[in-house]
Amino acid sequence: MLRLSTPDYRTINQTRSYNANYGGGEANVAVSLAHFGHNTYFMSKLPPNQLGDGAIKHLKGHGVNTDYVVRGSTTLGIYFVETGFGGRPSKVLYNRKHSAITRITIEEFDFDEIFKGATWFHLSGITLALGHRVRTVALKACEYAKKYGVKVSFDFNYRATLWDVEEAIPEYKKIMPYVDVVFASFYDANTILGIPLDENLKDESMPVRRENVFAKMIDKYNLSYVFGTDRVVYSATENSLAGYYYAKGYKGKTDPIRFNILDRIGGGDAFASGVIHGLLKDYNNPDYAVNFGVNTSVLKHTILGDACVLSVEDIESFMDHIGGAEVKR
């Protein structure tokens, strides 16, 4: 997508010129993982014009392979960001209803070629919100990922500004049987997937309720891990973040890290990329993965643009500097 951001913390209705850059959920994860030293490929559809060329140049410039990006249609998805300050939160407005990706078809991809040598496939709920054609391709990609033994991660990333929850529920449920690692909240599990909370726990704390629902979700879908973050908002420019994970029979959570914000957009994608990197390094070490993920997300908040463009050494140096946001089981 093309991102247009208001300068100098202006509101959208004050703004006559915008700062432009490229971004988007899965693209941000691919960019970040490329900077961590992984061979990443982006699968999508972009228009055959200067906007599409600019998006390709952005991806290639960060080391992401674009061989599986097809070209067609005329429009690139756009979103507007109103950057918050103090007590005024940031806002996001989407304009992507007729973008090129909504014209995507299964016939445009050789799924055997794409997945036969892959190790990981990442998908987000924002992509599922873009229409029937996109969902059909996403589901087919997940089927081929499983055919070739590729790990699948899915970030719920539900956006009420793109579709209503009633429309989203059946589409999320179609994807879940193919997923190994989920990035999710209590709301995602309880409301979107309909995983019930035990009646006697309704007045308990969020960690207690989350553990109860996530345990059932892990069993139902045979998941390896559920990851997520707890954010405390002190102001639009100062937050704290802690990472958590749940697996079958055990869990972990990092200490919170308090930090100042230059650009919040992409913080969740940075967390996902950090976790994926950690699991690619050692799939059986979620403590390192969640720690690396939350530190990656914190540092992304200090970088303009959608994606974290730091190296593994940068993240681990920061982890050492602040004590690593110790994981507690």
Mean pLDDT of the chain: 95
3-state SS assignment for residue 310:
coil
Residue 323 has pLDDT above 70, yes or no: no
pLDDT at position 181 is: 98
Q: Is residue 17 part of a domain?
A: no
- Report pLDDT digits (tens) over 219-247: 999 999 999 999 999 999 999 999 999 99
Q: Can you give the length of the chain in residues?
A: 329
3-state SS assignment for residue 227:
strand
**Nearest CA-CA partner of 152 in 245, 268, 45, 26:** 26
Q: Is residue 11 part of a domain?
A: no
CATH number for the domain harbouring residue 177 = 3.40.1190.20
Residue 325 has pLDDT above 80, yes or no: no
pLDDT at position 79 is: 93
8 Å CB contact between 272 and 122: yes
Write the DSSP string, 86-107: TTB--EEEEE-TT-GGGG--GG
Residue 327 has pLDDT above 80, yes or no: no
- Report pLDDT digits (tens) over 33-51: 999 999 999 999 999 999 9
- Residue 316 structure tokens: 């681990």
Q: Please give the model's pTM, rounded to 2 decimal places.
A: 0.96
Rounded to an integer, the average pLDDT of 105-113 is 98
Q: Is residue 70 part of a domain?
A: no
Q: Residue 39 is which amino acid?
A: N
Residue 322 has pLDDT above 80, yes or no: no
Q: Is residue 66 part of a domain?
A: no
How many domains are contained in the chain? 1
- Report pLDDT digits (tens) over 7-35: 999 999 999 999 999 999 999 999 999 99
pLDDT at position 326 is: 67
Residue 161 has pLDDT above 60, yes or no: yes
pLDDT at position 97 is: 84
pLDDT at position 96 is: 85
pLDDT at position 153 is: 98
Q: Is residue 89 part of a domain?
A: no
pLDDT at position 292 is: 97
Instruction: Give the Cβ contact number of residue 51 at 10 Å.
Output: 20
Q: What angle do CA 52, 81, 132 make, to 5 degrees?
A: 55
Q: Is residue 275 part of a domain?
A: yes
pLDDT at position 281 is: 97
pLDDT at position 284 is: 96
- Residue 3 structure tokens: 């991102």
Residue 98 has pLDDT above 80, yes or no: yes
Q: Is residue 272 part of a domain?
A: yes
CB neighbours of 1 closer than 8 A, spacing ≥ 6?
Answer: 22, 23, 24, 27, 76, 77, 78, 79, 96, 99
Write the DSSP string, 176-210: GGG-SEEE--HHIIIIIS-PPPPGGGTTS-HHHHH
pLDDT at position 159 is: 92
Q: Is residue 207 part of a domain?
A: yes
- Element at 254 (helix H, strand E): strand 250-254
**From CA 267, how far away is CA 29, in angstroms rounded?**
10
DSSP state of 301: T
Give me the domain span that covers residue 317. Answer: 25-43+110-328
pLDDT at position 175 is: 98
8 Å CB contact between 214 and 226: yes
pLDDT at position 72 is: 96
Rounded to an integer, the average pLDDT of 239-259 is 96
- Report pLDDT digits (tens) over 54-82: 999 999 999 999 999 999 999 999 999 99
Burial class of residue 149 in the structure, from the number of CB atoms within 10 Å of its CB (0-12 exposed, 13-18 middle, 19+ buried)? exposed
**Nearest CA-CA partner of 144 in 177, 116, 105, 186:** 116
